[in-house]
Amino acid sequence: MQIDYDKIKDLSLEGRYITYRDIDPILDTAVKGFKTQIEGTSVEGRAIKSITIGKGAIKILMWSQMHGNESTTTKAVADLINFLKLDSDLGSAIIRNTTIKIVPILNPDGAIAYTRVNANEVDLNRDAQKRTQPESVVLRKIYEEFKPDYCFNLHDQRTIFNVGNTSKPATVSFLAPAHDPERSISKTRGISMKIIVAMNQELQKHIPGQVGRYDDGFNSNCVGDTFQMLNVPTILFESGHFPNDYDREVTRKYIFIAMLKAVEVISNKSIDLYAQDSYADIPDNNKLFYDIIIQNIQVLNNKYESGSCAGILFVETLVEDRIEFKVKLEEIGKLHGRFGHMTYNCLNSNELDELKSQYNIINLLS
């Protein structure tokens, strides 16, 4: 699959803070055959919108920013919309064979506040059964009216995730959600697995070793599990970390590539070309990363024993419509088997100077 990504990337969207203020211009300039509409409103009365593309019999439903602070997939669906506006053989076939409905931001209040939860402090991805929140009601209404054949549940995951026991970050992770506590493989879950195998095979060409498999513990309150229970093949997408890409501008490209591959194999009905058993070959996600590991911190404070390390995580903080990454001390110890997206050694004077200039590291470890 050869795509000139730079030609379709939506340059109006960048960074981590994405709201309908950013998305509305994209929806407002929809081309002929692209239908936008208001599907309902949030707790605080903000519109929840969708865009529908294509005229084919196969229906695909996608929703992003169910968690308001998970915006990478929102940028990727904007790129997908741009791709489908172009005159290409693949795009034309997708529009001819499928109808795709995209909800770019399901949780607009959470997007504004840059929080996981909605304005009532409810995690919408744990509200699939009771549907106590208006956003949950809207998604279920869309599902019942649109009657999708496939569902894409689009999320971000934290920088802590690695692939298996390797030092590779889980840049993209997938899950074919379980439909029962035994995590058995129904026909529809098997279809989800095959589509994930197709996406993984494509991504291995671009980010070898950086694709993980998300935990499949069953929870009927989760939307993906619920839709899988309703016998609709559902796929969880998790956007993770790519080295030096905290704004996730690189990751969005790989999410786009994955989504396009999934839509392609659905559109041309080639899902059965991919082996369901290969799904289990994708390594599990693990949680072995810190954003920063600082080695030999006894140099900074002699209360620590020789060889001690500090594990630091960034806290994403909304500051005047932009996200700042503030340091948080997570763990002190030898940290054997743990990895850092950045590693500093206090025995190295240059690295120590960099630590002191970039981070309030002395106070953090005092």
Q: Which residues pair with 156 in a beta bridge?
A: 239
pLDDT for 74 equals 98
Both 310 and 216 in one domain: the answer is no
pLDDT for 208 equals 98
Q: Which long-range contacts (CB under 8 A, 24 or more apart) does 141-146 make?
A: 141/39, 141/40, 142/39, 142/50, 142/61, 142/63, 142/101, 142/103, 143/61, 143/227, 146/59, 146/61, 146/101
Both 127 and 174 in one domain: the answer is yes
In 10 A of CB 130, how many CB atoms? 10
**Domain range spanning residue 26?**
5-286
Regions of the chain with pLDDT less than 70 = 1, 32
Tokens 């700042």 correspond to 324
CATH number at residue 12: 3.40.630.10
Secondary structure (3-state) at 146: helix
pLDDT for 360 equals 76
Number of structural domains found in the chain = 2
Both 276 and 166 in one domain: the answer is yes
Identify the domain boundary among 286, 302, 324.
Answer: 286
pLDDT for 1 equals 67
Both 76 and 105 in one domain: the answer is yes
- Length of the chain equals 366
pLDDT for 87 equals 83
Both 160 and 258 in one domain: the answer is yes
